Structures are given as structure tokens and as C-alpha cells.
Amino acid sequence: MSEPAVTRVTPIAFLTATRGRGRLHWTDVFSYGYLALGVFLMFGPVIWLALSSFKTASGLLEFPPTLLPLGQIEVAVEGYDEPLPLYQVTLDDGSVQELAQIRRIGIIAQMVDPADPDARIKVPIDRREAVREFRVAWENYTAPLQRFNFLTYLKNSVIVTIVATAVTLLINSMAAYGLAIYEFRGRNAIMLFVIGTLMIPITVILVPVYLVVTELGMINSLWGVILPGAATPTGVFLLRQYMLTIPRDLIEAARMDKASEWAIYWRVVLPLAAPAIAVLAIFSIMWRWNDFLWPLIVLNRSEVYTLQVGLNAFQGELDVQWHYVLAMTVVTLIPVIFVFAFLQRFITTGIASTGMK
């Protein structure tokens, strides 16, 4: 029921207008309220993490936390090796002075005037307040690159993702081609087998796969992460369904031109199956970049860790260095954000049409 064309639009009517339907229903209000809350709940935590990753180690310890990265100003004082943190101190006579803190003993802080380094002043800690400035702690990002194996983790993750995706695409598309194009004995049996094994998760066969990987000498090797998940029934199934739609005449024509079966697969069928292959490629990249349980089991030495395993190791330390953990989490996030920004449409239609993740 659409209302007749409105001749005079009052402000209220304008604000409460909806697309198509008549006036504002309570469900419209509820919808936008729900969506606004959703934006806050979904984006908020990630934005908070990203903002926090730019704070200094001491800035992160503050409670209550500040929204923006504020760092305490530190000043070099003659006679002290390390720069000292600067405070604004209310002295006994009521005057306010900026002093640097040497050390704190209980509730008394020993402070010094940067202009007059020889005289020490004792101040109760509730009389001083940190002097802060807006400061982005880039060192959270640069230090892990130099001091920890972070670059190695990054490299390992990239290798695993790229090689595993290449292997997955190759062997799965070959199998899909075999199953889609040819009539042969045992085809239905193999197809049934593929469908039947779609759902065997790694969690059910952890121990024996570990045994196989050990026998092959691939513990603590990236191959041990790459190969076990390479042949995915899901991938075969997806590609085969797509290849079934390729017209047989094209293949017959190529055979007339004396193309080998491999050439038909590589030069005729693969390019035509590109959309399905793209979907599988995106899924594979996501699976591999985010994979955690299996790498955690196979990789026990820190030089072969992937990003996810490395991050987990860092956050599990007794004395967690959150300023580094947060920065590394942001780095781990970045490729995913890119994939999301550019390929969202592919991914969502892929999921909606296959029901897989």
C-alpha cells in the first residue's frame, strides 16, 4: 500500500519517511537502532585495539585508559642516564611546578627540577600529575620486527598461504576436471566418496595425521602445515559443479584440433572455470592465513611459527608485552581487511551459494 504522492513535505514527515512503504513503523525504528548498535559492537572492539596499539607501554598501563594515544613527556636531566618522566606538582605553598621524577618509594616520589638538577624534592604522589602529550608509539610496530622473530612469522605465514593455495587449486581442479568431463568406471563411487568425506574435520584425526606427518619427517617444517589440508573435498565439489556447466562442444572442438587432454584442462577448462577458482582461492587464502590448531601442533620451534601461532605464544607469556602484542595483531589484521575491502562481494556470494566457510 503506497501512499499517494505527497505535495507538501513537513519536516517530521521527511524524517520519518521510509522507502516505498508508508509511515514509520515501530519495526523501522527498531531496525535502525539494532543496526547502529551492531556497528558499535562489531567495529568498536577492533578500532579500540588499533587505537591502543599506538600507545606506549606505560600509556597502556593507565587506568582508566585514554581514548587517544597519549604519552608522558620525558625529559633528560643532567646527572641521570635515563630520561625522567615529567609531572606537574602542586607544592606546599600552592604553586604549581613541572618536576621530573627520579624514583617512587611508597607514597612519596623523589623529584627533581630539570632546571636545578642538584636539589631533590620529596612529594606525596597524590600531589603530582603526569604531563602528557599526543604521541604515537611507532616503536610498537618497528621493535618487534627487529627484536623478535616477527618477520620470520610473517614470512612463514605468507609462504604457507601462497604455496598451500597453489597446491590446493592445482590438485583440486585436476580432480574436478576428471570428475566433470569424463565418463569412466568408478566415477560415481569416487563422487559419493567425495561427498561423504566433505565433513571430516581435522579435529577428529589429529593424532594419526600427526603420526603421518612425523613419518614423512615434516614436523617443524612448513610442508607439514601445507600438505595435510591441501586436498579438500569441498574444493573438488565446488569446482566440479561449476565445470559441469561448461559446454561439451568446446572440449570436442579442442580434441579435433589434436589438443592433449592436459592442454584441454589447462587452456580450455581452467580459464572458463575462473570464477569458481577465484572463490576457492579466496577461501583457501582465508583458511590458511587464519589456521591455528594444526600449525600449533606441527610447529614447535619458534623459527617455523606462523603469525597466528607466534601471536598466541606472545600473548601466553607470563609477562605479556601488550604494546607489542597489539601492534602485531594489527599487522595480522591488515591483509584480511584488504581482502575484505576488495573481495567482499566474491566472498559473500561464494558463501551464500555454497554454504561453506
Partner 1 sequence: MSIVQPRPSLADIAWAPLRLLGALVDYPLRAVQRVAGIGRMPYVFLIPNLGFFGIFVVVPLFVNFAFSLTGGTNLFLSDRVYVGTEQYGFLLDCENFVDSGSCREDRFWRGIFNTFVFVSFQVFFLVLFSLITALILNRDIYGRGFFRAVYFFPVLLSPVVVALVWKWILLRDGILNAFLVSIGLEKILFFVSPQWAMFWAIFVSIWAHMGFYTLILLAGLQAIPPDLYEAAEMDGTKRERVFWRITLPLLWPNMLVVIVLALIKGVQIFDEVFVLTGGGPGTATQFIVQYIYNTGFSNQVQNFGLASAASVVLGVVLFALTLAQLAAVRRKDSTNV
Range 272-291, binding partner 1 (CB under 8 A)? 286, 289-290
Q: Is 23 in the site for partner 1 (CB under 8 A)?
A: no
Q: Is 4 in the site for partner 1 (CB under 8 A)?
A: no
* Nearest approach, Cβ of residue 254 and partner 1 (Å): 13
Spatial neighbors of 90 by CB under 8 A, at least 6 apart, are 96, 127, 128
Angle between helices 322-354 and 139-147 (to 10 degrees): 90
* Nearest approach, Cβ of residue 329 and partner 1 (Å): 5
Sequence length of the chain is 357
Count, residues near partner 1 per rule CB under 8 A: 98
Amino acid at 86: L
Q: Is 209 in the site for partner 1 (CB under 8 A)?
A: yes
Angle, alpha carbons 293-280-159 (nearest 5°): 55
CA distances from 176 to 9, 277, 315, 349 (A): 60, 11, 42, 21
Q: In this complex, which beta carbon is closest to partner 1, that of residue 123 or of residue 308?
A: 308
Q: Are 179 and 186 in contact (CB under 8 A)?
A: no
Q: In this complex, which beta carbon is closest to partner 1, that of residue 19 or of residue 147?
A: 19
CA distances from 105 to 4, 122, 123 (A): 78, 10, 10
Selected binder of partner 1 within 214, 245, 253, 275 (CB under 8 A): 214
Residues in region 87-146 near partner 1 by CB under 8 A: none
What is the pattern of x (binds partner 1, CB under 8 A) and - over residues 305-334?
A: ---x--xx--xx-----x--xx--x--xx-
Which residue's entry shows cell 577448462? 269
Selected binder of partner 1 within 200, 244, 250, 253 (CB under 8 A): 200
* Nearest approach, Cβ of residue 147 and partner 1 (Å): 20
* Nearest approach, Cβ of residue 252 and partner 1 (Å): 12
Q: In this complex, which beta carbon is closest to partner 1, that of residue 84 or of residue 164?
A: 164
Q: Is 197 in the site for partner 1 (CB under 8 A)?
A: yes
Selected binder of partner 1 within 267, 275, 302, 303 (CB under 8 A): 267
Which bin fits 217, alpha (ψ -120 to 50), beta or left (φ > 0)?
A: left
Residues in region 166-195 near partner 1 by CB under 8 A: 170-172, 174-175, 177-179, 181-182, 184, 187, 190
Q: Are 233 and 195 in contact (CB under 8 A)?
A: yes
Q: Is 163 in the site for partner 1 (CB under 8 A)?
A: no
Q: Is 42 in the site for partner 1 (CB under 8 A)?
A: yes
Amino acid at 30: F
The DSSP call for residue 245 is T
Q: Take residue 308 and report the three cell numbers written for it.
A: 597466528
